[in-house]
Amino acid sequence: MEQREKREGWHSGLGFILAAAGSAIGLGNIWRFPYITGQHGGGAFVLIYLLCVALIGLPVMLCEIALGRHTGRNPVGAFRRLNPDSCRLAHLFGAGMTLCGLLALFMRSWGWGGLFILIGVLIFKYRWTLVGVMGVVAGFVILSFYSVVAGWTIGYVFKAATGQLAFETVDVAKESFGAFITHPGWAILCHFLFMALCVAVVCRGIQGGIEKVSKVLMPLLFMILLALIVRGLTLPGAMAGVRYYLSPNFKLITPQCILVAVGLAFFSLSLGMGAMITYGSYVAKEQNLFKSAMAIVGLDVLVAFLAGLAIFPAVFALGFQPDQGSGLAFQALPAVFHHMPLGAAWAFLFFLLLLVAALTSGISLLEVVTAYWVDERRWSRRKATLVFGGCIFALGCLCAVSVANWNHIKPVEQALATLFGGVKDSFFVTMETMADWMLALGGLLIALFVGWVWGVRRAVDEIRQGSDNFADVHLWSVMAGLKDDPSHNSDMHVFTLASLWGVFVRFICPVAIVIAFLNTIGWLELKGPEAKPAAVEQVADEPVADESASAIRNESHESM
């Protein structure tokens, strides 16, 4: 039984691309990307985001898919298979961690000290397999809060369908949203429904579950998105929204912006925790990995871009403020839709869109955890999804009831405060911050592993299967129009896609991620001039939401 399931693969290449794009396209695209773009200089930020996606996202995506297909395993199994018996780089990390731990203990920070030393020792023992373990744990952590937010979308789909989203002003919408998400009963019920949907799909396996659902939901997502765009753009006054969203304002491009773009690219492309390793493990050898990675990245960027086009024209046409930060989706848009003809129907479609996007991402997060128990622990898929879906639901309940504060889970707060010297954010935000760190660290370690430990040469051998052009077409020759000239395709010319990718994986990606990572953990505050979008100044008097805070973080603060 498990044997067969382990070997299961995607039915078709398109199925893989749609499922992987489904994982990538989620709340990150439809919710975070539009408002962050609006706040960071519109078209100029889009350009920078595209560069980050192409220069960091695409190479790391290819690393993950190649690792997955080569090993045919979940992230833990993949790293375990390729783990060298001894590795200087791993020992260096282990020693560094242990040293940090000792230092922390010396400074009487018992929780951090203990944690670092434990990680240091584990690195010595398990080396790179630990990166896979971290991916599975990240899947667990991310899904537990992602599912809470996705649960809100279920609630809002229901509310829209029953005409409960009729808000005259954003303030009324805000109040209603705050009451909804801080009501433990509703929050937990919606979270449960979302987890149940994920479990039902993942339980049915790769072809019968994930692939089948993705093939229906992804076209549906595009159709809803297009309908919303046409509706928004045909409203009188919509062009002001397009201008706000896309007019490039290079004055707003600061170092901070670039780092925001890197972080967004990682989250949005589902990179850094092995989701793409897991999905890659079900890919056939004939499939062209390079083209697939390009298609997944392309679709992800396209949806992010289109989501902005669906939202801003409508917001402007109806005279609302665009600078709501993350509140845009749940607070401003219901009020915007209410003022449109057939508003309830458009609100219903929008929240359905969010739900569809979140569902295909939630599925991939649960699949990472499931694949580990199926591959490594020989559990049946059904048992693994039910047990871990249940565990994630339980952890998510803590998030759901602690969106605003720790009141419902005081003992957890006290335990954390004793160990780590105080907690400043809600449990929800703490989990989200932890996920941010894990993704950045995971992405860095995956690039380092492929670039320096597994080796670019072996990775390229894997990618070459099914995409022979990857290593053998000489880019200079193609660009110069000398593609078919034999002398220009000799070994003398070594500028191929593969060599370009190798340089990125070994040097450019790790360095860029380290910079973004240091920024995430607050050790490097690359500050530019205080940015306030010019467009916002023209149209709004209210302050711009803190752009560095992530979507969910803002959401929970606003609701407090």
> Which chain residues interact with ligand PHE by CB under 6 A?
23-24, 26-29, 142, 267-268, 270, 273, 275, 361, 364-365
Query: Which residue, 273 or 505, has its beta carbon nearer to ligand PHE?
Result: 273
Query: Which residue, 259 or 460, has its beta carbon nearer to ligand PHE?
Result: 259
At residue 438's C-alpha, the angle toward residues 432 and 439, to 5°, is 95
- In whole angstroms, the minimum distance from the beta carbon of 292 to ligand PHE comes to 17
- In whole angstroms, the minimum distance from the beta carbon of 143 to ligand PHE comes to 8
Query: Which residue, 20 or 531, has its beta carbon nearer to ligand PHE?
Result: 20
- In whole angstroms, the minimum distance from the beta carbon of 142 to ligand PHE comes to 6
Q: Is 341 exposed, middle or buried (0-12, 13-18, 19+ CB in 10 A)?
A: exposed
At residue 79's C-alpha, the angle toward residues 76 and 84, to 5°, is 140
CA distance 53 to 58: 6
CA distance 211 to 222: 17
CA distance 371 to 77: 9
Q: 245 and 42 in contact (C-beta within 8 Å)?
A: yes
- In whole angstroms, the minimum distance from the beta carbon of 258 to ligand PHE comes to 19
* Cβ-proximal residue to ligand PHE, closest one: 26
Query: Which residue, 66 or 275, has its beta carbon nearer to ligand PHE?
Result: 275
Q: 287 and 305 in contact (C-beta within 8 Å)?
A: no
Q: Which two tokens stand for residue 314?
A: 């409508």
CA-based nearest residue to 555, from 468, 428, 421, 410: 428
| DSSP character string of 491-518 | TT---BHHHHHHHIIIIIHHHHHHHHHH
Query: Which residue, 335 or 354, has its beta carbon nearer to ligand PHE?
Result: 354
| DSSP character string of 140-166 | HHHHHHHHHHHHHHHHHHHHHHTT---
- In whole angstroms, the minimum distance from the beta carbon of 329 to ligand PHE comes to 12
Query: Which residue, 157 or 536, has its beta carbon nearer to ligand PHE?
Result: 157
- In whole angstroms, the minimum distance from the beta carbon of 474 to ligand PHE comes to 34
Query: Which residue, 170 or 299, has its beta carbon nearer to ligand PHE?
Result: 299
- In whole angstroms, the minimum distance from the beta carbon of 215 to ligand PHE comes to 19
